[in-house]
Chains A and B, each alone.
Chain A
Amino acid sequence: MQGISKAFPGVQALEKVDFDCVAGEVHALVGENGAGKSTLMKILAGAYRPDEGTISIRDKTIAPATPKEAQAYGISIIYQEFNLIPELSVCQNVFLGREPSKGRLFIDNAALYQRTKALLSELGADIDLHTKVKNLSVAQQQMVEMAKALSLNADIIIMDEPSAVVSGKELKSLFGIIRSLRDSGNAIIYISHRIDEIFEIADRATVLKDGKLVGTISTRDVDKPSIISMMVGRNLDETFPAKEQGEKEEILALEDVSRGTVLKGVSLKVYSGEILGIAGLVGSGRTELARVIFGADPIDRGEISFKGERIKRCTPKKAISRGIAFVTEDRKKEGLVDCLPVKNNLTFPILDKIKKWVFIKNEEERSICNRCIQQFNITTPSINQEVQYLSGGNQQKVILAKWTNTNPTLIIMDEPTRGIDVGAKAEIYNLMRMLAKQGTAIIMISSELPEIIGMSDRIVVMHDGRIAGTCASFEATEERILMLATCQVA
Chain B
Amino acid sequence: MNIERWKERWTTIVVYLVLAVLMIFTGLASDVFFTSRNFDNIARQAAGLGLVSIGQTFAILTAGIDLSLGSVVSLTSCLTTGLVLGKPGLLIPVIALVIALALLVGFLNGFIITRSGVHALIVTLGMMSVVQGAVLLYTKAPYGEIPESFGFLAWGKLGPIPVPVFLLGAVAAVAIVVLHRTTFGRYVYATGGNEEVARLSGIKTARVKIYTYMICSFTAALSGLFLASRMGMGDPLVGQAYMLDSIVPVLIGGTSLTGGKGGVVGTLPGIFIMVVLSNALNLLDVSSYWQWIVEGGIIIVAVAFYWREK
Chain A residues close to B by CB (< 8 Å): 9-10, 294, 296, 315-317, 319-321, 326, 328, 333-340, 344, 347-349, 351-352, 355, 358-360, 362, 381-382, 384-386, 389, 402
Q: Can you give 27 A-B contacts (C-beta < 8 A)?
A: A9-B2, A10-B2, A10-B3, A10-B4, A316-B201, A317-B202, A320-B201, A320-B202, A328-B200, A337-B190, A337-B194, A338-B193, A339-B193, A339-B260, A340-B189, A340-B190, A340-B260, A344-B186, A344-B190, A348-B190, A351-B183, A358-B182, A360-B183, A360-B186, A362-B181, A382-B2, A382-B5
| Residue with the greatest number of chain B CB neighbours at <10 A, chosen from A328, A360, A385, A402 | A360
User: Are A360 and B181 within 8 A (Cβ)?
Assistant: yes
A337 in contact with B260 given A344-B186, A348-B190 (CB within 8 Å): yes
Q: What's the minimum C-beta distance from A189 to chain B, rounded to whole angstroms?
A: 29
**A321 to B203 alpha-carbon distance, docked (Å):** 11
A359 & B260 in contact (Cβ 8 Å cutoff): no
B204: CB under 8 A from chain A? Answer: yes
Q: Are A348 and B203 touching (Cβ within 8 A)?
A: yes
List 10 additional contacts besides A296-B199, A320-B201, A326-B200; criterion CB under 8 Å: A296-B200, A317-B202, A320-B202, A337-B189, A344-B186, A348-B201, A349-B201, A352-B183, A355-B183, A360-B182
Return A321 CB to nearest CB of chain B, in Å: 7
CB–CB B2/A334 < 8 A: no
In the complex, A348→B204 CA distance in Å?
11
Partner of A385, one of B2, B7, B182, B190: B2
A384 / chain B contacts, CB cutoff of 8 Å? 2, 5
B62 to chain A, nearest CB (A): 12
Please indicate the chain A residues that have their CB under 8 angstroms from the CB of B190 in the complex.
337, 340, 344, 348
Chain B residues with CB under 8 Å of A336's CB are 194, 197
Report the Cα distance A339→B255, complex, angstroms: 12
CB distance from B127 to the nearest CB of A (A): 27
B196 at the interface (CB under 8 A from A): yes
The contact of B202 among A316, A328, A334, by CB within 8 Å, is A316
Enumerate chain B interface residues (CB-CB to A < 8 A): 1-5, 7, 181-184, 186-187, 189-190, 193-194, 196-204, 256, 260-261
Contact B4 A389, beta carbon cutoff 8 Å: yes
Q: A385 — which chain B residues lie within 8 A by C-beta?
A: 2, 4
Min CB–CB distance B211 → chain A (angstroms): 12
B196 touches A334 (CB 8 A): yes
How far apart are A161's CB and chain B's nearest CB, in angstroms?
22
Q: Are A338 and B3 in contact (CB under 8 A)?
A: no
CB <8 Å contact, B7 and A9:
yes
C-alpha spacing A347/B187, complex, angstroms: 11
What CA separation (Å) do A362 and B181 show in the bound complex? 8
Q: Report A-chain residues with C-beta under 8 Å of the C-beta of B202.
A: 316-317, 319-321, 348-349
Rounded to whole angstroms, the CA-CA distance of A355 and B261 in the bound complex is 23
Instruction: From the candidates A317, A321, A344, A360, name the one contacting B189 in the complex (CB within 8 A).
Output: A344
A347 CB contacts on chain B under 8 angstroms = 186
| Residues of A close to B196: CB separation below 8 A | 333-334
Rounded to whole angstroms, the CA-CA distance of A384 and B1 in the bound complex is 8
Q: How far is the CA of A386 from the CA of B5 in the complex (A)?
A: 9
B200 to A334, Cβ gap below 8 A? yes
Asked if residues B200 and A294 are in contact (CB atoms below 8 Å), the reply is yes
Within 8 Å by CB of A348, from B7, B198, B260, B261, lies: B198
CB distance from B288 to the nearest CB of A (A): 38
Q: Is the CB of A317 within 8 A of B204?
A: yes
**How long is the Cα–Cα vector from A316 to B198 in the complex, in angstroms?**
10
Residues of chain B within 8 A (CB-CB) of A315 are 204
Chain B residues with Cβ under 8 A from A326's Cβ?
200
From residue A348, how far is it (CB to closest CB) to chain B in Å?
Answer: 4
In the complex, what residue of chain A is closest to B195 when comparing beta carbons?
A337
Q: How far is the CA of A150 from the CA of B200 in the complex (A)?
A: 40
> CA A355 – CA B194 in complex, angstroms?
23
B199: A residues at CB distance < 8 A? 296, 316
Assess the B4–A316 pair: CB atoms within 8 A: no
Q: B183, A334: Cβ atoms under 8 Å? A: no
Instruction: Please measure, in the bound complex, the distance between the C-alpha atom of A320 and the C-alpha atom of B198, giving whole angstroms.
Output: 13
Pick from A328, A334, A358: contact of B184, CB below 8 A: A358
Question: What are the residues of chain B within 8 A of A389 when measuring CB–CB?
Answer: 4
The answer to whether A337 touches B184 (Cβ under 8 A) is: no
Q: Which chain B residues border A340 with CB–CB below 8 Å? A: 189-190, 193, 260
The answer to whether B186 touches A334, judged by C-beta atoms less than 8 angstroms apart, is no
CB contact under 8 A between A9 and B4, given known A321-B202, A334-B196, A349-B201: yes
- Which 10 residue pairs across A and B have the least CB separation, nearest first? A337-B193, A348-B201, A320-B202, A317-B202, A9-B3, A358-B182, A351-B183, A337-B194, A381-B2, A349-B202
- Report A-chain residues with C-beta under 8 Å of the C-beta of B2: 9-10, 381-382, 384-385
Which of A316, A359, A362 makes the CB contact (< 8 A) with B200?
A316
B1 contact set on A, CB distance < 8 A: 382
Question: Nearest Cβ in chain A — how far from B300, in angstroms?
Answer: 23
User: For B187, what are the chain A residues with a Cβ–Cβ distance below 8 Å?
Assistant: 351
B206 CB, nearest partner CB in chain A, Å: 10
Name the CB-closest residue of A to B204: A317
Q: With a CB–CB cut-off of 8 A, which chain B residues contact A348?
A: 186, 190, 197-198, 201-203
How far, in Å, is A449 (CB) from chain B's closest CB? 27
